């Protein structure tokens, strides 16, 4: 059985920073990721795809120039979905290449496979390759869980990965519908709603709470709401979804609890995410998660209830930013090996 000073489960911002930090301290480190390539949610379905899509849309539509010069829409600058997919693909490849080089340069090993706990120090890895699925057990002095999150997919939503999508599906295969409904006005829902609105897609934003982005200053939100409505976006606050059905043409129909009906060609369900911890065997070692699969940690050290097991990134909840996740990973690695570290900042910049 191979033994490591640190096993990092997940290779997103928290995982990469922790792995490289520990390697620079002279420790033996392995990163375990169940995807076919490194990068985690951030690279494959999260931060990188959404920001690439946003920049592509703003550039190809000339949206920034229109706002600056008060120009009307130039119909000749419409977007071909293949252009979006091509840019997303190139950006993804570039990010993966950079990360693989960083790991190799710092002597960080990588195992492609799914990790689950046999005990608090021993992990079973279902290794994945093109021919078979092999199993390896490895032992770790310290373990960092940074597996990220997956979209919340309730049973009443008829997901089909065609025109009823979660945020992962829309990032993997961007399409430009004639109209879009977005359920959930959190960071992800708002981000995609504004991206499609910039492409002149009529967007209806549905949020069960009476406000959205509650962690943002109210004056900022009031101004932002005015801008969204000025672009033609319909915003339905305080509206809970009763049913989601498909019409005879295969388009989604959202019926709200107040009786109103919202029709569109595409529906994005973005009402929350779940920690990707279900298959890790955490109960076996006595680690409990909340109802969304997230882990509780000491914010000063990133330790879970088991001292040598740490967690960082989206799997521990708010703020779920790439920047803060990287800092959490660094703190975890430094604490695990007794290296000097600065405290996590109480305040941090936030972008949407």
Using CA atoms, how far apart are residues 316 and 305, in angstroms rounded to an integer? 13
Q: What is the pTM of this model?
A: 0.87
Sign of the C-alpha dihedral computed for residues 149, 155, 161 and 164 taken in this order: negative
| Cα(277)–Cα(352) distance, integer angstroms | 26
- Cβ–Cβ under 8 Å, residues 312 and 303: no
How far apart, in Å, are the Cα atoms of 168 and each of 44, 154, 159, 192? 9, 15, 12, 11
Supply the DSSP symbol for 34.
S
Q: Give the chain's domains with CATH numbers.
A: 2-47+86-150+274-336 (3.50.50.60), 153-271 (3.50.50.60)
**DSSP letter (8 states) at residue 157:** S
Q: What is the DSSP letter of 177?
A: -
Tell me how far apart the alpha carbons of residues 278 and 286 are, in angstroms, rounded to a whole number: 14
Beta strands (DSSP E) in 168-213 are: 180-183, 203-207
Tens digit of each residue's pLDDT, the chain (352 residues): 999 999 999 999 999 999 999 999 999 999 999 987 887 777 767 777 778 777 777 776 766 655 544 555 543 346 677 777 777 778 888 888 899 999 999 999 999 999 999 999 999 999 876 555 689 999 999 999 999 999 999 999 999 989 999 999 988 777 889 999 999 999 999 999 999 998 889 999 999 999 898 888 899 999 999 999 998 999 999 999 999 999 999 999 999 999 999 999 999 999 989 999 999 999 999 999 999 999 999 999 999 999 999 999 999 998 888 889 999 999 999 999 999 988 777 777 666 5
């Amino acid at each position: 059985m191979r033994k490591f000073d640190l096993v990092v489960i997940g290779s997103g911002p928290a995982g990469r920073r922790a792995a490289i930090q520990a390697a620079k301290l002279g420790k033996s480190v392995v990163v375990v990721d169940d995807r076919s390539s490194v990068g985690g949610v951030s690279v494959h379905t999260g931060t990188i795809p959404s920001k690439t899509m946003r920049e592509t849309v703003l550039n190809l539509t000339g949206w920034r120039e229109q706002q600056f010069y008060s120009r009307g829409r130039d119909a000749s600058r419409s977007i071909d979905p293949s252009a979006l997919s091509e840019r997303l693909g190139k950006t993804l490849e570039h990010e993966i290449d950079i990360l693989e080089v960083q790991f190799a340069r710092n002597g960080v090993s990588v195992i492609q496979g799914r990790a689950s706990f046999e005990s608090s120090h021993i992990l079973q890895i279902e290794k994945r390759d093109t021919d078979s699925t092999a199993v390896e057990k490895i032992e770790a002095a310290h373990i960092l869980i940074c597996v990220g999150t997956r979209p919340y997919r309730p049973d009443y939503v008829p997901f089909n990965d065609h025109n009823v999508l979660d945020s992962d599906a829309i990032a993997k295969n961007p399409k430009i519908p004639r109209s879009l409904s977005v359920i959930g006005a959190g960071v992800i829902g708002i981000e995609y709603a504004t991206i499609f609105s910039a492409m002149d897609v009529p967007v209806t934003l549905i949020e069960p709470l009476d406000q959205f982005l509650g962690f943002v200053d109210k004056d900022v939100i009031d101004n932002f709401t005015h801008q969204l409505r000025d672009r033609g976006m319909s915003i339905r606050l305080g509206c809970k979804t009763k049913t989601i059905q498909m019409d005879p043409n295969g388009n989604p129909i959202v019926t709200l609890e107040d009786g109103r009906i919202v029709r569109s060609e595409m529906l994005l369900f973005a009402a929350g995410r779940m920690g990707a911890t279900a298959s890790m065997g955490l109960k076996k070692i006595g680690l409990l998660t909340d109802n969304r699969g997230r882990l509780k940690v000491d914010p000063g050290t990133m330790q879970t209830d088991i001292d040598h097991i740490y967690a960082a990134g989206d799997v521990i909840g708010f703020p779920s930013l790439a920047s803060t996740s990287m800092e959490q990973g660094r703190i975890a690695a430094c604490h695990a090996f007794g290296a000097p570290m600065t405290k996590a900042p109480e305040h941090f910049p936030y972008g949407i």
